[in-house]
């Protein structure tokens, strides 16, 4: 997905005239192909999230949110301990939950919908074809470009945060292989029993 996002960004910038590499016609063609590929990946991701129940990972919470923000702004540069613990049932910290949720329900839908409108738009005065009753594509282009910049910013920050794991490559390894060692989530009653046992031992 990251590769497709960067390729979409590169061809998109060329379509906007920022530089010339593929040529305008080829850039449009490659951008459209990459867009369809990205949409297919999104469909598979949605299917996977709902069939596995992983969509629950993105349910937002404000618990430890302030501590998480302080960690990324200050604590991470002072070797402070991470304020939240990653488990099988809770793989994302509070800030990640909010970011991913906003990405999935706002940014990506805005980018995809505006992109499809851009792709299938027909000027009302063009012959006998009247595709969409929109007087200008400037607003569509604005939304599409803004969403694209937000998505690019997310990917760049995401790539940086990959290096902030237990080791500089631990998160990268998990991202590439799809496997990561996580602590099993203990039921509250088990945690209470453990606390009682510790009190007795003391």
Residues 104, 110: Cα–Cα separation, whole Å: 10
Domain membership flag for residue 12: no
Positive or negative, the CA dihedral 78, 83, 89, 92 is: negative
Q: What is the pLDDT of residue 179?
A: 60
Structural domain span for residue 135: 53-201
Cα–Cα–Cα angle for 198, 201, 202, rounded to 5 degrees: 85
Q: Structurally, how many domains does the chain consist of?
A: 1
Domain membership flag for residue 100: yes
Domain membership flag for residue 149: yes
Question: What is the per-residue pLDDT across 139-160, written as a single tens digit (0 to 9) for each?
Answer: 888 889 899 899 888 888 888 8
Domain membership flag for residue 127: yes
Per-residue pLDDT of the chain (202 residues; tens, 9 = 90+): 778 888 999 999 898 888 888 998 999 999 999 999 999 999 999 999 999 988 888 888 888 889 998 988 888 888 888 888 877 777 888 888 999 999 999 999 999 998 888 887 755 555 544 555 555 678 888 889 899 899 888 888 888 877 776 666 666 666 666 566 655 554 443 444 444 444 434 3
Question: What is the per-residue pLDDT across 67-98, written as a single tens digit (0 to 9) for each?
Answer: 998 988 888 888 888 888 877 777 888 888 99
Domain membership flag for residue 40: no
Residue 116's nearest CA partner among 137, 92, 146, 91 is 137
Domain membership flag for residue 187: yes
Domain membership flag for residue 9: no
Domain membership flag for residue 23: no
Residues 24, 11: Cα–Cα separation, whole Å: 9
Residues 178, 82: Cα–Cα separation, whole Å: 22
């Amino acid at each position: 997905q990251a590769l497709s996002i960067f390729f979409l960004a590169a061809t998109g910038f060329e379509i906007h005239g920022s530089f010339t590499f593929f040529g305008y016609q080829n850039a449009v063609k490659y951008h459209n192909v990459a867009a369809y590929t990205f949409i297919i990946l999104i469909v598979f991701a949605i299917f996977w999230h709902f069939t596995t129940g992983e969509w629950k990972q993105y349910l937002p919470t404000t618990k430890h949110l302030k501590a998480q923000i302080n960690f990324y702004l200050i604590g991470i540069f002072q070797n402070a301990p991470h304020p939240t613990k990653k488990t099988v049932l809770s793989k994302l910290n509070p800030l990640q939950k909010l970011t991913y949720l906003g990405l999935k329900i706002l940014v990506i839908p805005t980018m995809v919908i505006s992109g499809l409108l851009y792709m299938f738009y027909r000027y009302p005065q063009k012959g006998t074809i009247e595709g969409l009753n929109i007087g200008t594509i400037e607003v569509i282009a604005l939304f599409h470009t803004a969403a694209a910049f937000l998505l690019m910013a997310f990917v760049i920050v995401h790539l940086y945060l990959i290096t902030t794991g237990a080791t500089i490559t631990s998160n990268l390894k998990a991202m590439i292989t799809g496997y990561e060692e996580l602590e099993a989530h203990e039921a509250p009653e088990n945690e209470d029993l453990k606390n009682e046992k510790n009190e007795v031992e003391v």
